[in-house]
Structure 1
Amino acid sequence: MNRRSLLALITGAALVPLMRAAEAAAGFLHYKAEEFAQMLKNGDTIVIHVHADWCPTCTRQLVTLDQMAGEAAFSRVRFVRVNFDTDLDFLRANRVSSQSTIIVVKGGHEASRFVGVTRAGEIRTRITAAV
């Protein structure tokens, strides 16, 4: 392995904890079945981001979703991150077949679902209309 590859590997590994901390700070929750079930039972409005760490589309979506999660206008909305590679029970139960899926649940029912959208304005418009 050359020096440039090694440096990239080390830098990438160092950024993962920072990225996870940024997610938590922005108000994202990592999917946990019990907590999610309670949110549904409570009738919470939930924006679900089905992502994969290796997905460039998901990464582009994350920029807009992070901004929205930190805005006062969405303070009553729960933002949940579902891992496409590990949260298989969620994927089956909710008929999700692709990463980069965004689902909005309101009052216990799916209000919107879209896949692969990366334009900030379109993401905002679709989520705002659903919540």
Structure 2
Amino acid sequence: MSILKYMLAMISFTFALNAVSAEVEKVPFTEERFKALQTQSDTLILLDVHAEWCPTCAKQGEALAEYQTENPEVPLTILNIDFDDQKEWVKHFKAPRQSTLILYKGEDRLWFSVAETRKEVIFDALNEAAGQVQ
């Protein structure tokens, strides 16, 4: 394969991956939705304190979309807390800033992270939690 064909194939793959990432639904946080999910023993809930203008949040979103694409069997629901418009929930969950990720199973907080963008760290936390789902 020539270098040009290889580069074109890699560019096509990147665009395809981005298209898949864009398809992951962003579920807005509501207290009712969060409480309902907490009653489901087979569900992991990831609170994503997110701001549209935040490049770190965008990178986290890419990692989360990739995780969901690669692990469709994991019962993970991502609830997005808007950092700019949902300040009461940002304070409630003690998120020090945007790009905070908080993982729950039921009422138990399993993981709390600020500005983590390393895919392997995010994947490890989600996989460890997924192992706790019965």
Query: What is the TM-score with the length of structure 2 in the denominator?
Result: 0.71
Unmatched tracts of structure 1, length 5 or more: 1-18
Identity of aligned residues (%): 25
RMSD across aligned C-alpha pairs, in angstroms?
Answer: 1.8
Given the alignment, which residue of 21, 34, 37 partners 2:35? Answer: 37
**Equivalenced residues, count:** 108
In the alignment, what sits opposite 2:50? 51
In the alignment, what sits opposite 2:72? 72
Unmatched tracts of structure 2, length 5 or more: 1-18
Measured in 1, the distance between the counterparts of 2:44 and 2:121 equals 19
> Which of the two has higher C-alpha Rg?
2
Per-residue deviation at 1:46?
0.6
In the alignment, what sits opposite 2:87? 88
Per-residue deviation at 1:50?
0.9
Measured in 1, the distance between the counterparts of 2:118 and 2:73 equals 19
Per-residue deviation at 1:112?
0.5
Per-residue deviation at 1:87?
1.4
Measured in 1, the distance between the counterparts of 2:111 and 2:66 equals 19
SS in 1 for 2:101: strand
- Judged with a 3 Å threshold, the aligned counterparts in structure 2 of structure 1 residues 47 and 130 are, in CA distance, closer, same or farther, namely same
Measured in 2, the distance between the counterparts of 1:65 and 1:77 equals 10
Per-residue deviation at 1:130?
2.6
One-letter identity of the residue aligned with 1:62: G
